[in-house]
């Protein structure tokens, strides 16, 4: 039977959680999983499903040191270093080549480092169902979340014909859609056969490579070259081959064109926690709708405050008095105050910070 590996993609940077997140300390480092860093929770979700020596973390040089420190149990040789941030397709190709260099028949789970997913047993059930579908050596499997509202911040997968005999409801994926506008999202929700694209995949590496051959010959060629270079332990050649991979998402480069893609309907609570307002969905609110995500001893005191989102770390107290619908972030060297409705637009502020000559804060 094909052995199961997991690759956690932890290379994202992202400024949507500034000033809590920084270039060298992006979202997956934040204690958004019940006070635990998201990536730590992601690793824990794999316990009992994937053998520790088969768990890989793909990241970049900038974050590698902090990641190794955060995850002392992760073996150093299981860190896959992306030579450059080039979207998910090259990252997945490098991970596939790395695993294939010693285990070419492996089945590979790919999952983002920075999502909130509960509960663990449903998550593992979902992955097992996906792995079973992928066992035919042909099918690429993705996981879809039943949408609860017409979200414009997620991608969608359209479900076609149901797949018989799957352990969970599963369908042929007929279309991948990037983040839609509001009207389109409402159509998807009304249609009933669209699921949120969780960004989690499972496939046999040989199936992935075959799909690359069909969907993106340059990506396939890059993967083959990386595999050869890794087998010869030629780092420079590996890097060269990586840089020849098209800088595209795996959805766009492969999934949309692959001959056999299945989507498993996942019965998990899932959130990609895209920005501070999303904390309202993962934290528990007080009777006035205030949500506080606190770590490392931080506390929150509120009087006459409503619907505020507070994120604080370290030995500090955030007091909110008579304010409402604000996002308040307090970390060691920075404080942010902005309206909830404006927090999704934090990129503008980050650009302003850069323009103000304060790249040291990014």
- Taking the alpha carbons at both ends of the chain, their separation in whole angstroms is 46
By CB under 8 A, is residue 320 in contact with a copy of itself?
yes
Rg, the chain, Cα only: 21
By CB under 8 A, is residue 168 in contact with a copy of itself?
no
By CB under 8 A, is residue 348 in contact with a copy of itself?
yes
130: closest CA among 269, 272, 268? 268
DSSP bridge partners of 60: 82
Could you tell me which stretch among 46-54, 76-84, 251-259, 313-321 binds a copy of itself (CB under 8 A)? Answer: 313-321
- For the bound state, the minimum distance from the C-beta of residue 308 to a copy of itself, rounded and expressed in Å, comes to 8
Q: By C-beta, is 117 or 327 nearer to a copy of itself?
A: 327
Q: By C-beta, is 23 or 231 nearer to a copy of itself?
A: 23
> Which tokens go with 63?
């974050």
Could you tell me which stretch among 57-65, 125-133, 167-175, 323-331 binds a copy of itself (CB under 8 A)? Answer: 323-331
Per-residue binding string, a copy of itself, 17-46, x by CB under 8 A, is --x---------------------------
DSSP bridge partners of 202: 109, 141
By CB under 8 A, is residue 291 in contact with a copy of itself?
no
Q: By C-beta, is 48 or 339 nearer to a copy of itself?
A: 339
Q: By C-beta, is 245 or 309 nearer to a copy of itself?
A: 309
Strands in the chain per DSSP E: 4-9, 55-60, 79-82, 107-112, 116-118, 140-145, 156-162, 170-177, 194-204, 261-265, 269-271, 291-295, 299-303, 309-313, 317-321, 326-331, 334-339
By CB under 8 A, is residue 338 in contact with a copy of itself?
yes
Looking at 166-204, list the stretches that DSSP marks H as alpha helix, in order from N- to C-terminal side: 182-191
Q: Coil, strand or helix: which one is 275?
A: coil
Residues near a copy of itself (CB under 8 A): 19, 299, 301, 303-304, 312, 315-323, 326, 328, 330, 332-339, 342, 346, 348-349, 352-353, 356, 358, 361
């Amino acid at each position: 039977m094909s052995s199961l590996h997991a690759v956690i993609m932890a290379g994202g940077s992202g400024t949507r959680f500034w000033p809590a997140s920084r270039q060298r300390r992006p979202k997956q480092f934040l204690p958004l999983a019940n006070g635990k860093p998201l990536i730590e929770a992601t690793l824990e979700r794999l316990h009992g499903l994937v053998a520790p020596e088969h768990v890989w973390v793909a990241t970049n040089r900038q974050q590698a040191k902090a990641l190794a420190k955060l995850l002392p149990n992760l073996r150093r040789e299981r860190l896959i270093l992306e030579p450059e941030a080039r979207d998910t397709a090259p990252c997945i190709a490098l991970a596939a080549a790395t695993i294939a260099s010693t285990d070419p028949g492996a089945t590979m789970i790919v999952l983002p480092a920075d999502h909130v997913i509960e509960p663990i047993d449903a998550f593992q059930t979902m992955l097992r169902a996906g792995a079973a579908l992928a066992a035919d050596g042909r099918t690429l499997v993705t996981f879809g979340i039943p949408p609860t509202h017409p979200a414009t911040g997620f991608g969608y997968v359209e479900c076609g014909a149901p797949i018989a005999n799957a352990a969970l409801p599963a369908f042929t994926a007929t279309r991948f859609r990037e983040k839609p506008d509001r009207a389109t999202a409402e159509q998807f929700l009304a249609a009933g056969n669209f699921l949120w694209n969780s960004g989690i995949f499972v496939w046999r590496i040989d199936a992935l490579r075959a799909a690359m051959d069909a969907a993106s010959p340059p990506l396939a060629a890059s993967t083959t070259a990386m595999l050869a270079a890794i087998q010869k332990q030629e780092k420079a050649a590996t890097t060269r081959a990586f840089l020849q991979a098209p800088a595209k998402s795996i959805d766009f480069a492969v999934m949309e064109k692959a001959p056999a893609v299945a989507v498993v309907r996942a019965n998990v609570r899932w959130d990609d926690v895209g920005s501070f307002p999303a904390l309202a969905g993962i934290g528990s609110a007080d009777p006035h709708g205030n949500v506080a995500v606190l770590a490392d001893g931080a506390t929150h005191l509120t009087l006459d405050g409503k619907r505020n989102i507070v994120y604080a770390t370290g030995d500090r107290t955030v007091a909110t008095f008579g304010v409402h619908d604000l996002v308040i972030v307090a970390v060691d060297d920075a404080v942010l105050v902005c309206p909830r409705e404006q927090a999704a637009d934090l990129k503008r502020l980050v650009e302003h910070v850069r323009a103000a000559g304060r790249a040291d804060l990014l």
